[in-house]
Amino acid sequence: MNKLEGIEVIENATLKNYNTYKIDAKARYLVKVLNLEGLIKVLKYLKENDIPYFIMGNGSNVILDDYFKGAVIRLDGLKKLEIEGDIVKAMAGVMMGVLANETIKANLSGLEWAINIPGMVGGSIVGNAGAYNSEIFDNLVSIKVIDENLEIKELKKEEIKYEYRHTSLKKSGLIVVQATFKLEKGDYQVSKQIIEDRCERRKATQPLDMPSAGSVFRNPPDDYAGRLIEEAGLKGKRIGGAEVSNIHANFIVNTGNATSNDIKSLIKLVHEEVKRKFNIDLVLEQEIIEWM
């Protein structure tokens, strides 16, 4: 695999720096894709050699398992971003913050909310990321995916099922490689102010100096998961190195050496306590990855 062009391979890699929880998971191979051709070549190689693979964005919505005997593929090199008039084409590896900044610089509005999402475009489409009553599907026109036959296909937004923080792309086997958005004409100064205000608000209300993967549970209809967890008296609750944040109860933070199991056990405890106290079944927003 090392000889393939368009990729970099690290064998027996630690994934600690590739997931925002900083879980010290390991993989037999970590493959960094440098371009689209490299991605297709490595997928072909892995399929031919029966090596399982897992596509990772920035690892900001996942609770990784301890060990993966296959290849974790990061789309690091798919970073092209093109803006023409009100149409924006972003490859899957573009970070959401870059997308927000570059579009407002082009006097386009609609993606300001993305400034605080520490994920890539591909991962954010798959999970329909959003904030402040906006979501990535609002401005989406179409995506390009690689299917199981390694062919590139275009899917219009109407062909994809999506809802709050979930889409039919999850676990579909399709790999998102590019997204096209249509934005509104905007004003740079106005958008910049919106972004600055939201960054300030986040700093004041979220534990941004500690490793986490953002909100643990989706908000139930007409309520907030954070409010319920706080009222259940769970702020500061700890299992191993995982802790329910004292700043925002819907965040679990890694206080140092949290393992995947610490985080999962704490999630289970929070889920059970909220169910017992309020009879509400919180739904997980983060994704527990189970590698065979």
Ligand X SMILES: Cc1cc2nc3c(=O)[nH]c(=O)nc-3n(C[C@H](O)[C@H](O)[C@H](O)COP(=O)(O)OP(=O)(O)OC[C@H]3O[C@@H](n4cnc5c(N)ncnc54)[C@H](O)[C@@H]3O)c2cc1C
Minimum distance from residue 238 beta carbon to ligand X (Å): 19
- Cα torsion at 201, 205, 211, 212 (round to 10°)? -100
Q: How many helices (H) and strands (E) does the chain have?
A: 6, 20
What's the rounded Cα separation, in Å, for the pair 138 and 65?
32
CB 143 within 8 A of CB 94: no
Of 208-267, binders to ligand X (CB under 6 A) are 208, 212-214
Instruction: Kindly tell me which residue out of 77, 119, 186, 241 binds ligand X, with binding defined by CB under 6 A.
Output: 119
**Segments in the chain forming alpha helices (H):** 36-48, 96-105, 121-126, 188-205, 225-231, 260-278
Closer residue to ligand X (CB): 102 or 187: 102
Nearest CB to ligand X, comparing residues 54 and 278: 54
Binding to ligand X (CB under 6 A) within 2-31 occurs at 20
Answer for the pair 144, 40: CB distance below 8 angstroms, yes or no: no
164 near 173, Cβ under 8 Å?
A: no
Q: Which stretch binds ligand X (CB under 6 A): 79-87, 128-136, 227-235, 239-247?
A: 128-136
Q: Is 165 a catalytic residue?
A: yes
Q: Contacts with ligand X: how many residues (CB under 6 A)?
A: 32
Nearer to ligand X, 64 or 104 (CB): 64
Active site residue 154: no
Nearer to ligand X, 20 or 180 (CB): 20
Our finding on whether 76 is near ligand X (CB under 6 A) is no
Angstrom distances, CA of residue 148 to CA of 40, 122, 136: 11, 17, 25
Q: Catalytic site residue 168?
A: no
- Which residues lie near ligand X (CB under 6 A)? 20, 55-62, 75, 92, 116-120, 122-124, 126-127, 129-131, 165, 175-176, 208, 212-214, 287
